[in-house]
Structure 1
Amino acid sequence: MPDGTALLDRELVERVRAYDPRADADTISRAYAFAAKAHVGQTRDNGEPYFTHPVEVANILTGFRVDSNSIVTALLHDVVEDTPVTLADVEKAFGRDVARLVDGVTKLTRLELQSDRSKQAENFRKLVLAMSEDIRVLLVKLADRLHNMRTLRFVRDEKRRRRIAAETLEIYAPLAERIGMDQVKTELENLAFRELQPDAYASILARVAFLRGEGADVIDRVTEDLRRMMEEHGIRAEVTGREKSPYSIWLKMHRRNVAFEQLSDIMAFRVVVETVDDCYRALGVVHSAFRVVPGRFKDYISTPKPNGYRSLHTGVILPGAQKIEIQIRTREMHEVAEYGVAAHWSYKEAGPKPAEAPRQYRWLRSLLEILEQASGPEEFLEHTKLEMFRDQVFCFTPKGDLITLPRGATPVDFAYAVHSEVGDTCVGAKINGRIMPLRTELANGDQVEIVTARGHTPNPAWERFVVTGKARARIRRFIHAQQRAQNIELGRSMLVKAFRQEGVEGGERVLESVLKAFKQASIEDLYVAVGSGTIGPREVVFAAYPELRPTARAPSMLPMARGKPKPPAPAREAPAAQVPISGLVAGMAVHFAGCCHPLPGDRIVGIITTGKGVTIHTADCQTLESFAATPERFLDVSWDLDPTAQQKHVGRITVLTANQPGALSTLTTIIAKREGNIVNLKIVNRTPEFFEMLIDLEVRDLGHLGDIIAALRASPQISTVERARA
């Protein structure tokens, strides 16, 4: 080993031994040499030897004061991914524990290389599973991400830089906060903010520097005043002051919708005392010396945050109307605030596994429960973001147990937080002894008693007002199961009818023979696809018996009507000069069916009507069933669009939205922003809670309509949006 490398190796070992004299120096040195040899010849984006990255990750972890195996994992975390070294080699040299940790980090790194949204969701799902087995995987991953963010400016691809920064802000910074590592969270946020909003970042830095120049002595003066007051009251305290981070200032500006000049509490002070009793004594000293900002006092000592954070927070007004924030905590509380889960050493002292620890990992257990309920990685990511990004309220069970929930939570969220079965069988709730609606928002200190009934099932309407990821995932799972059961029954009956009409056998053996053609895993999945309209029943018959397939002039798919066929809805005529349809006789009149509103991008069929010309339907329109007996009336047509022309077509959607002020304004604004044009709007049903509308929109094509539907579904005021088929 070169002398320079040996020197750096000794420095790392000494840093670990400074907080853990029992550290395994020999294993750390061997890992250092092992990784240095494996990465030889590799470089990073900034031109430095690649090995500088794992060394810096290990150095960051020494600041967390982690155990030797975590340091070894940091040094080795990229060898399996980026070098010929195998996991078996790592296990042989360093043992099963290190190999398992390296494997966990390696799997996440492989997935991170994908920029696709679903891959990011899958990455997060695997991260939750890995850290539920061992929280050290997350510690190494956070250190890895922190060093990558510190060197992000050297990445040449701007899109990649922004993707990494956005992922950091959305996932890793909240996770750092969840495990109590506030310093890591703050640095990740600021580095991501600098990349995503460079102008805002520079502006806030400049304004803070200007204020610092105008009142350079404010922090020093207030720090000295607080220290003196503590001494006068016999309280031994360490007092420090700082400016709030650029990202937290920017976030506050947006939440309060105020300009920088209107923010007055951009300074925070910390008072670290010896005992819990001293915390409350110090609070009394501060409140007796300064005017208190109403509503800014928070007692996280009696009701700690889910990540174990404990402290007293208060806001006071200095002479001159300057507002500041003061945090008061003990040395032990400060250790937890600084180092988070690493301060507990639960993994070193053979303590409980993360998934079993009582309070500290309760949030992690809730993520695992969401994982069990979510139908896919993207839904899991959506629900866990709901879980991580909200402020909190603290409520109590009738026995006095504390339940922490996101702000805006309801008794249904509370019920699911107590237990999944309590949520499923919830029929009512008492809040502070009074029966209240299940959609009531809970407040800090509420006592909530859930009324249950055996055999009761979740109400699909709950999904419109619950806010926790666990509740929403559980309700959606029930809805999906219910819909699947209905689609299985419907699909089965539709196929039985289709095979009977053709006079052929349609048993399970026949259906199994066509599963591969329709890319279905089982007969039940095929029933679901038919019942939901994804596959037409006759398509299944024709796949099983190709000789029965109609001639080319017949439609390729004629789904069976669900019930009595409906008469065709009034069609709208298309101007002759603007008909974007091929396969028609010159001069023939063309109409677009009002029952299915076909759009460019839909598969279409033409129906000849005596004296009226041709009516264009979508290939899966239920109205086509009424023409099944006269296949000679079908025309094989297709779209013939001019890519340079800006033609508009009318699509119809059905919308269920909350009956509250601003809902209609939100809906129309979303449509307008996406260049849609409302040509007709009809309210077909209205209740005190919601109203249902049919809306006709001018759009370019099916993709344009899909974009509008997706944007509407993203609005919290809009419950459901579907394309109308009648």
Structure 2
Amino acid sequence: MAKVQSPVDLPTWRERVAASAPSLADALAACTQHGIDDASYRDVLDQLVMLGCDVQTQASALWFALAQADPEAWTARVQAVPEDIRRLVEGQQAAEKVWALHAQRAAGGGSEGLRRLLLAIIRDLRVVFVLLARQLARMRGAATLPEAERQELARLTRDIHAPLANRLGIWQLKWELEDLAFRYLQPDVYKRIARLLDERRADREGFIRESLDELGRALAAAGIKAELAGRPKHIYSIWKKMQRKDLEFDELYDIRAVRVLVDNVADCYAALGVVHALWPHLPREFDDYLARPKGNGYRSLHTAVIGPRGKTLEVQIRTHEMHRANELGVAAHWRYKEGGAGDAEFEAKIAWMRKLLDGRGEDEGALAADLKTELLEDRVYLLTPKGEVFDLPHGATVLDFAYHVHTEVGHRCRGAKVNGRIVPLTFQPSSGDRVEILTAKLAEPSRDWLSPHHGYLATNRAKEKVRTWFRRSALEANLAAGRAMFERELKRLALPDADIARLPAHFHLNTHDDLLVALALGEISPGQVSRVLQEAAQPTPEVTQSSSPVASRHSVLDHSALTIEGVGNLLTTLARCCQPLPGDAVRGYVTKGRGVSVHRADCPSLARLVRRDPDRVIEVTWGRASAQAYEVDVELHGYDRKGLQKDVAGVISNASVSIIASSSRLFTRSGEVEMRFTLRVRDFEQLSALLDRLAALPNIVDARRIGGG
């Protein structure tokens, strides 16, 4: 029977807690001031102390008790609470989302997803210790709850808390949580097994003592230093084994079990020899996890023997180091017990929490730094409207989510809602968001979804599904779509006479038609084609910044930027009438006083100069590659709306492109707008990507480079 607390106990306990640290004392004082019953947190604090949790974690449990009992009091005090403790309280509040989701899914299926979601939405993983401690406290007092509430609490414990305690290696909490949940979910079975254990407890404990004494003497006689202990079996684990092996209680040999801890591997096998020499062993019940460790790294020797009085006995033998690793290390035996494979990010979080548990004497600041550097999210955990959990790579869009749910859902996707709000298909949701996909009757993926510049898809899995859909379409349709994309790219980059003969070979394709199909399927981007066209002439040149004003409409080049036939070290400028870029076919014109003016070969202005004075024309080619920039004019056509110019400027800025000059013209009668920008770009590929993003803006009809004048 539990000890009845005397009136003197409570102040003593409060004094001990208050003396632990100022942060804990402040939280306790706030709870006392607002009349919060200590029963709501005393057991929780005791468990957190047992786990070795820091005072900030303990204080957060008190503040959360206040926040639950008196939200207004918490709101009034929250700004005075230190940020790290406030974050722990917010994590406990965030966990309520998972509890609500679990309540919606009374069947309890798919709880692994909820456990992963829990760890994803909690930013400080110390919160998990508070959740486990509080759940144990609630389960201990669950007998007084209404039946429906008690059942839901037990299911939540079975599905979420007990598995997490198991994975963390907090066996004391794990066994008690499992047994309490089992007691309320299957009371008849629980009572039957408990009665069988109680009836034979004295006999079993006497048998274990006798076995330990006998084995201890045999090991000492063999000169083996060992630590021996009985291994308790809990009601839930007994029932699980009865179910798994289809055995009755009397047929379980490992109800009686001992563990032997030695100093090294050689002593493990030596101790095994002593055990088998002392008692006959059961051949089918021997496992050597030292020679063949479990896939998760679990190591131990397991054997079963016929011990004293002719009764079966299970013996586990391992080193002290193996025991620490198995019980609290990263490679705990939860996976082979439960089955299923976790992901690397989930494992990293479990490993960090194990380190926190095992490193009670280590610097807490260093562990906090580990959390920030090692556990950056690389997955997001998203919910369907029915509460199912899907995890995707960080940066995935709602369209990626649609394809992750089902290929047909992705093909038919036309929109999405996140937490009830309509968002674009490029929207990147965060962990815990509820995503609803809006679908059409017919499957009609867009080729724009495959363009990396548009940002519709981030995962290769989804992109491949879209490509597969288009591959199944008619060849002529793919050719037509690819040809349209190719011609549009040449037109908007003002490259109508580009040499395209070398393109297929560069991409390891046989024909130009193969290139067009690859473009249509998104296997090659328009930007890649632009870059190859640029490189086809010469590598990108090295250009110096123009020292003359933009108004002069000339860019001065370093002599290394261009190779001039028969002449060296001449002043060279890019003609602003046609704005040649690296990769354009170019010709030079010797001016009076301004050196060589470089034009695109198809520039109309150059044609007029050639007709007037053909002797001044010289051959030039691009020189070596450059990391510098070139000025280019871009023209946009569309329909006016509020914020249009701001959006255009934002896209240009986000592309790391500088605006040298800009102008716009509004046609009030039609509502059309024309915008021109002089930009400084690195090369064709950057320009192509920018034009893609500009053309995707609402109300923009066309975005292209301005050709010759």
- Please classify the TM superposition score into its range, dividing by the shorter chain length: 0.3 to 0.5
TM-score (norm 1): 0.46
